[in-house]
Each structure stands twice: as C-alpha cells, then as structure tokens.
Structure 1
Amino acid sequence: MPAPLAVFRALADPTRLRILALLREMELSVGELAQVLGQSQPRVSRHVRIMADAELCERRREGSWIFLSLGKAGRSKPLLAAIDGWHDPSAERWRVADAVRLAAVRSDRVAAAEAFFNAHAAEWDAIRSLHVAETEVEAAVTAILAAAPIGRLVDIGTGTGRMIELLGARAERVTGIDRSPEMLRLARAKLAQAGLEQAELHQGDMYALPLADGSADCVVLHQVLHYAQAPAAAIAEAARLLAPGGRLLVVDFAPHEREELRERGAHARLGFDDAQVAGWFAAAGLETTAVRELAGHALTVKLWLGAQAPRHLKAVA
C-alpha cells in the first residue's frame, strides 16, 4: 500500500488522531494511553497496531510494559503541521479532557517515583555518606565536559536520569539506557518535572546497546562500571557509539576495600585504578584526555575522560 494511503487510512479514526496528539506531548505506555482515552487496553492496542504499521508511532517493550512514541519526524511532522492548520471546534472538548487526564498520568508517575525513592533512600544515603557530596561530583562532571559541545548525549545506566537532568539542556539530543523498567519509569517522572520529556529512554544492556555505531558525541557511564562483570566489554560497547571526535566519560570509584558494597550493594568491582581504565580506553580506540580525583571520607570518586580520534587522524596513524 502506498505510504500516503496507509497514513491517511490509519488516521481515519478520532481515537487515533487523539493518540497522535497525546504522543506529541510525551511518551506513554499502552496502559497510560488507555487511562487517558477511557478505553480498554485491547482496544487501544488495536489502534496502536494500525498506527505502527503506518509508521506513525513506534513501540518499545520494557519488561511487561509497551511504551509508545511518535514515529520518525519525516512521517509525523507534515501531519502535525496540517493538523495544526485546521481548527476543529468539535475536537476541542477532547483536547481539554485528554489534557486533564494526561496531567493525572504525570501525577501518577511522580507519586510512583517518590515511593521508590522513599523505599531506597536509606540504602542510597549510606553509600553517599562514604564519598564527597553529589554536588561536587556533578560540578566536576560539568567542568570536565565543558571544553566542547555535548552534542548527542547517551547516558548508559541512566538510573534516575540525573546525568540527563545535569547535561540535557546543553545537548542536541538525549538518550538514556537502563536495564531496569522500574528505573526507566522513575527517570521519566523526574525528567518530566525537569522539562526534559523529549529525552529518549530505552531498556537495554550495557554490553549490547540498542543504538547504532557513531550515533553519539558524548557517552556517560556514571557510577555504572562497578556493577559490570566485564568492564572492558562495557567500555568497548560504549566507545562503539562514538562518532569521530566523540567523548566517553566514566565516573566511578578508585580502588577501595569496602566489602559490604560487594555483599549488600551488588558491586562486582571494588573500584578501578587509572592504569586499568586507560588500558580499556586504549583497547577501545580511545585516548585518555583527562583524569580527576575527588577524595571523600571512605571512597574516592574518579572521573576518566576518553576521546575518539577524528577519522582523518586515524587514517594518518
């Protein structure tokens, strides 16, 4: 079926027009769409399938949830521009009602995030008490990356989305990756509050990232590497994403002997030394360009910055 015909057939339904408008505002799960639309999940899923077949939306699985976002800009932008050019008073009541229900979805996300934080606050506070304040770490992250534009940012193991909050305003495009659907839902709530709802969040493994080669200008591994059973493989996979001249920032701990973090915190590695990280960078085709150290009460935080050589320099070498 020709693309224009498939698109207009897909939108020949009021519910699907509403779905398009909602996905324009924010990424939503099928369940959240059903909540906003006041329809059953099976019915909403049928509408979504039709739209996905016409490439008007994209589906992504996170655990047992399916999240939806607008399709590629080349397909969706002309349609949205046309819709904006038509004033339909009969549709206004739906827009108002949907906006109210969408606000309720945002509130539900925030409530879930607060509950998660409350449940884990003591555990996270115990680790934070061992090293310098987060504000110092974040200031060091900002400073070490200040020499060049952020460009396309990828945050691996994004967790609560804090690195995206910190750096997202300076980035052209932002993508967060995490294995945990619960953490991704938490990040969505926090990023919505920070006005960063357009950040892309994907479920994925640090050893097999769901992104193309050369798709990032800056990749961050913030307090993630100590969970890796194979740190060298994680760094190599992160480096794969870098475009020529791209940068990889690793923020983690220097070597320490806090065995309780291995036993209770699931830390696979008790910190890293400069030689280890430099060796992994070199094996991944990166040059170590900066190292920073922030000594704390019991743990020292280190920042290692590696850079991908521009393609023309590689050719000369």
Structure 2
Amino acid sequence: MILIKIFKALGDETRLRIVRILKDGSFTVNEIIFIISGRQSNISHHLKILLDAEVVESKKEGSWIYYRLSAVFRSSVKDWIFTFLNNDISGVSDSIGDDRRVDVIYQKRKSIAMEYFSSIDDDDEKKLFSFMNSIFSSADIGSILSGKFDTIADIGCGNGRNLPVLAQYADCVIGVDSSARMLQFAEHICIENGLTYKLEVADITELPFMNNEIGGVLINMVLHHLAVPLVALKEVTRVLQPNGKLFLVEFLPHHNEGLRDTHADLWLGFTEDEISGWVKESGLDVLKTEIKEHQGYRILILIGQKPV
C-alpha cells in the first residue's frame, strides 16, 4: 500500500523536482521555492502531498522547519527512483538549473562557518574551545579511541586540541580544517607537543587524500556546521582504508538557538537514527553507538568501519 501512495505522489513533475533536490540534504520551504522557482502556495501544496505519502518528512530546527526524504522512502524506492531521475530520459525539466540553485544554498550555508572561523581572534578562540572542551574534552576523545593506525586524521580539527591525543594511536596525525586561521593555532600545538604531523587547509567534502589512504578519522563536533553532512561522510568513506575506522562525536537534538549566533552552528543537533543512517548510506558499517550527557547536552558517540 505504501508503494502505491509513493508512486501516486511522484506523478507530478514539480514533486519529482522536489524529491530530486532532497537526495542528500534538507531545505526550508523558502529554500525550495528559490530552487524550484515556484510560488509558496504551490510548493506548500506539493509538500503536503509528499508528506501525506511519506515521501518526505519535516524536521523542526528551533524556529525553522526543514524538509527531507523520509526514512520510509529511503529504505524502499530511493535508489531506483534516483537511477531514473539522474538519467537524461527522465524528462524532468531544468535539472541543471535546480542543481545550480541548490549549490547557491549550500555555498551560503558554508560561508556562515567559514566567515566565523576565518575571522576569530585569540580571545574568541579560547572561549570557543573552552566551551567545546566542557562539552566533550580531549580526555573524552581518548576514551573512545582504540587500535593503532599509520595515519589518523582529525577532520575539522579547529585549533588542534585533540591532535596530541590522536598521536598516541598513530604514527602520523593529520589536522584538516577549512580555516587557515584555525590551523595556525593547531600548528603551535603540534610543535609544542613534538608531534609527527601534517596540516591541510581543505573542505571536508573535498579532502586532499587518495582513495583508501587514511587509517582512521575523527569527526568531533563538526557535522552541525556542515551544509550537507551526508556528502561529507561519503567523502570520508572514500579516503578511509578498508577496515579503517571513523570516530564520530556529535550533538543530539537540543534547543539552544543561541549557538547559531555565538558559534556559527547551522544545525541544532541530529537524532541517532539520522547520523547512523548517513554513516550507513555513506558506505560504512556502524560498530557501536553510545549516548552521554555533558553540561546539559546529549552527545552521540559513533564508531564506524569501512568494509574490506
């Protein structure tokens, strides 16, 4: 019965375009209106049909509501539908224009964090990482690590506070951040601690590594800054070695909208199912999840592994 509802809902070009742009991410109504170039009443009508058919679902982020593909849709017909939608014979109009406008939204989101971390001064840097350390400290990071790696990368390493801990588990640590300013702080920490290290200015969605190059990856409190977390996790999967491990730490949903202003957060946390789903969809196995509470925030710890 659910498949009949889904296919009926997809019997409209505008709704197919909406589904297509939601493949990897989520958007507000206003963002969808911009991408599809439609009227609000028209887009809202189509979203209601897609919601009723369980093709999409809504997620409240503070005062904002985002729409994304539902778990039901992803687990049933997503792969088949997108094989069709990505084919030239699909007949969906203006897909190139839709993709271009999606990229405009993503670049706007990305610029929020970039501008914040690129302009941060010494005092704000200390305040930021004092806050982050109170939520999940370097000692906490050490408690979730295991194994020995030739290389382990801290992606979104910020000021490098966790690199000395990672160095206990790897021959070489790599700090990756999109902000050259942050890596200046990280280099000071690496030199001060006598680490064997590399630092790379790079976006998490375009990592400067070959396929299967990195033994382990830490992503600590990074996903909530990213325009499209799933795309980033797919890139991490690409660079991980077979049997390589992902150590991921992230906020579960919270209501502190002030973090958008004070720390350039895009998202107010994610559910365990969301994060686990992204990790699996990116091609990793989920080995373990654990939830801890620090300073009133619930934190998800996830360990993933790339299959051989």
- The question of a shared fold, defined as TM-score above 0.5 by the shorter chain, is answered with yes
Q: Deviations over 1:36-84 (max 9, x none)?
A: xxxxxxxxxxxxxxxxxxxxxxxxxxxxxxxxxxxxxxxxxxxxxxxxx
Cα separation, 2, equivalents of 1:125 and 1:142: 17
State the Cα distance separating 1:141 from its structure 2 match.
Answer: 2.8
Q: Deviations over 1:18-51 (max 9, x none)?
A: xxxxxxxxxxxxxxxxxxxxxxxxxxxxxxxxxx
Determine if contact 2:255/2:268 at 8 Å carries over to the other structure: yes
- Off by >4 Å, runs of 4+ in structure 1: 126-129
Matched, 1:172 2:177: no
Matched, 1:306 2:304: yes
Q: Which residue pairs with 2:162 in the alignment? A: 163
State the Cα distance separating 1:265 from its structure 2 match.
Answer: 1.6
Give the 5 Å matches for 1:1-317: 116-126=121-131, 131=135, 134=137, 138-146=138-146, 148-196=147-195, 198-310=196-308
Unmatched segments (≥5 aa) in structure 1: 1-114, 311-317
Q: Deviations over 1:105-153 (max 9, x none)?
A: xxxxxxxxxx954343334445655x3x62xxx344323322x223311
State the Cα distance separating 1:187 from its structure 2 match.
Answer: 0.7
Determine if contact 1:151/1:171 at 8 Å carries over to the other structure: yes
> Closer, same or farther in 2 for the Cα pair 1:298/1:152, shift >3 Å?
same
State the Cα distance separating 1:252 from its structure 2 match.
Answer: 1.3
Provide the secondary structure at the position in 2 that maps to 1:206.
coil
What residue identity is the alignment partner of 1:249? F
Greater CA radius of gyration, 1 or 2?
Answer: 1
What residue identity is the alignment partner of 1:145? L
Cα separation, 2, equivalents of 1:144 and 1:127: 17
Q: How many aligned residue pairs are there? A: 189
Cα separation, 2, equivalents of 1:188 and 1:271: 29
What residue identity is the alignment partner of 2:285? E
- TM-score normalised by the chain length of structure 1: 0.56
- TM-score normalised by the chain length of structure 2: 0.57
RMSD over aligned Cα atoms? 2.0
Determine if contact 1:141/1:303 at 8 Å carries over to the other structure: no
> Closer, same or farther in 2 for the Cα pair 1:168/1:125, shift >3 Å?
closer
Cα separation, 1, equivalents of 2:187 and 2:160: 8
Cα separation, 2, equivalents of 1:243 and 1:294: 28
What residue identity is the alignment partner of 2:302? W
Provide the secondary structure at the position in 2 that maps to 1:162.
coil
> Closer, same or farther in 2 for the Cα pair 1:216/1:306, shift >3 Å?
same
Provide the secondary structure at the position in 1 that maps to 2:227.
coil
**Identity percentage over the alignment?**
28
Cα separation, 1, equivalents of 2:170 and 2:293: 29
What residue identity is the alignment partner of 2:200? H
